[in-house]
């Protein structure tokens, strides 16, 4: 793999952490732009990731260290999927600060967990983070356990840039009144709301959101459960 100098997209399903460390040991000329299914991201693996010119990183269940300060050393990152491996306690505030340093991000997915070592990101932490991402067009939040409001959706440039929003499996559920913040995202083209609120959407709200939507005129896809 080290000899494949033109390789740009890599899925590491069959590689363990020791193999990854050997693969990324400097010096190398790897030009990987997209990386997914990597082994656990630990203190010894993280510095090796910064040697790659990554644009896309899928680490949905791989973070096994308390922070991800190393994200600041990936200046070209445009797409990030991040979730805790639930093996160590994480500092969600510090992690969201690092995510906010990736100012070129266009796509962000954060995967929480009910486990004690999940990300447990809060509304305030998300608000601070998302205000620093002026190019974000896609946002996905799953298994949120510590959110109390969706007011972060109307912070910064999101009402003008966000075209796709996926919110799924919130525990506990949010009040239905929080839907007001979703309705302020006037350029949304795709919206998914699955098991988010403490009550089903009313028939009137569903009709307003079903394309062609009276509330979100650009909406083309709508999923709600």
What pLDDT was estimated at residue 56? 98
Task: Note whether residue 201 is domain-resident.
Answer: no
Task: Note whether residue 65 is domain-resident.
Answer: yes
What pLDDT was estimated at residue 65? 97
Task: Note whether residue 171 is domain-resident.
Answer: no
Q: What is the pLDDT of residues 37-76, one digit of tens each?
A: 999 999 999 999 999 999 999 999 999 999 999 999 999 9
Average pLDDT value over all residues in the chain = 95
What pLDDT was estimated at residue 108? 98
What percentage of the chain has pLDDT greater than the value 70? Answer: 100
For the whole model, what pTM was predicted? 0.96
| CATH number of domain containing 58 | 3.80.10
Residues of the domain holding 97 = 9-162
Cis peptide before 58 (omega within 30 of 0): no
pLDDT band at 14 (very low <50, low <70, confident <90, very high): confident
Task: Note whether residue 198 is domain-resident.
Answer: no
pLDDT band at 17 (very low <50, low <70, confident <90, very high): confident
What pLDDT was estimated at residue 116? 95
3-class DSSP state of 41: strand
Residue 166 C-beta-side C-alpha neighbours within 13 Å: 14
What pLDDT was estimated at residue 146? 97
Task: Note whether residue 26 is domain-resident.
Answer: yes
Task: Note whether residue 62 is domain-resident.
Answer: yes
15-33 exposure pattern, b = at least 16 Cβ within 10 A, e = fewer: beeeebeeebeeeeebebb
Q: What's 150's DSSP letter?
A: -
Task: Note whether residue 136 is domain-resident.
Answer: yes
Count the domains in the chain: 1
Element holding 92 (H helix, E strand): helix 92-100
Q: Tell me how far apart the alpha carbons of residues 204 and 213 are, in angstroms, rounded to a whole number.
A: 12
Q: Tell me how far apart the alpha carbons of residues 190 and 167 are, in angstroms, rounded to a whole number.
A: 11
What pLDDT was estimated at residue 2? 86
Task: Note whether residue 115 is domain-resident.
Answer: yes
């Amino acid at each position: 793999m080290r000899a494949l100098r033109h390789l740009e997209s890599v899925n590491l399903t069959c590689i363990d952490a020791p193999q990854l460390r050997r693969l990324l040991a400097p010096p190398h000329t790897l030009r990987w732009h997209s990386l997914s299914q990597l082994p656990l991201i630990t203190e010894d693996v993280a510095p090796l990731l910064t040697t790659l010119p990554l644009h896309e990183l899928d680490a949905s269940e791989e973070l096994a260290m308390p922070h991800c300060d190393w994200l600041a050393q990936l200046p070209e990152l445009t797409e990030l999927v991040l979730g805790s491996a639930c093996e160590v306690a994480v500092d969600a505030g510090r992690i969201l600060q690092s995510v906010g340093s990736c100012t070129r991000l266009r796509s962000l997915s954060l995967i929480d967990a009910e486990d004690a070592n999940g990300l447990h990101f809060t509304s305030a932490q998300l608000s601070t983070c998302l205000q620093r991402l002026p190019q974000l067009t896609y946002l996905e939040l799953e298994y949120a356990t510590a959110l109390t409001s969706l007011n972060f959706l109307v912070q910064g440039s999101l009402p003008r840039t966000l075209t796709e929003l996926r919110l799924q499996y919130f525990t506990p559920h949010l009040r239905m009144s929080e839907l007001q913040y979703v309705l302020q995202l006037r350029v949304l083209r795709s919206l998914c709301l699955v098991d988010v609120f403490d009550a089903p959407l009313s028939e009137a709200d569903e009709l307003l959101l079903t394309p062609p939507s009276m509330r979100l005129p650009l909406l083309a896809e709508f999923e709600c459960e």
